Structure 1
Amino acid sequence: MSLRTLEQHTGLNRGYLSRLETGRIHEPADEPVQKVAAALRVTTDAITHEEKK
């Protein structure tokens, strides 16, 4: 899904989404994460899960 499409589905700014995608936002708020997860039809864990070391 493109950032433009994700922006349309979530109502979140494309610049913000880009920063999320590239990891420049280290601890995003719950609401934007939930919106992105819903738009992508995945759980929030699927997009926030960090690899266990």
Structure 2
Amino acid sequence: MIPNGAAIRSFREARGLSLRRLAHLIGIHPSCLSRIETGQRGATDRTLRTAAEVLQVPLNAIHKETTP
């Protein structure tokens, strides 16, 4: 599984949250969230679960299955 940073960004923007605010609510640095959203970095399971809770979406809405 890999996180779908574009989905995180889409849900964040739909809820009117700034990148800085969501990062604060998740407990990570804004630059880290930016890299996750742009696909430059993966996210930990904890970060994904917290993001899903804060954004009020199911975890599978921001986590996609991939096959190598």
**Which TM-score applies when normalising by structure 1?**
0.76
Q: Please list the CA deviations of residues 5-53 of structure 1 after superposition, one character each: whole Å capped at 9, or x if unmatched.
A: 1022111110110011001114x220011111111111111011258xx
1:35-46 equivalence runs, <5 A: 35-46=50-61
User: C-alpha separation between the residues in 2 aligned to 1:9 and 1:29?
Assistant: 15
Q: Select the structure that is richer in strand.
A: 2
User: C-alpha separation between the residues in 2 aligned to 1:33 and 1:50?
Assistant: 14
Give the aligned CA root-mean-square deviation in angstroms. 1.7
Percent of pairs with identical residues: 36
In structure 1, list runs of 5 or more residues that go unmatched. Answer: none
Runs of 4+ residues deviating >6 angstroms:
none
Structure 1 counterpart of 2:28: 12
Q: Which has the higher contact order (CA 8 A, sep 6+)?
A: 2
In structure 2, list runs of 5 or more residues that go unmatched. Answer: 1-16
**Which TM-score applies when normalising by structure 2?**
0.62
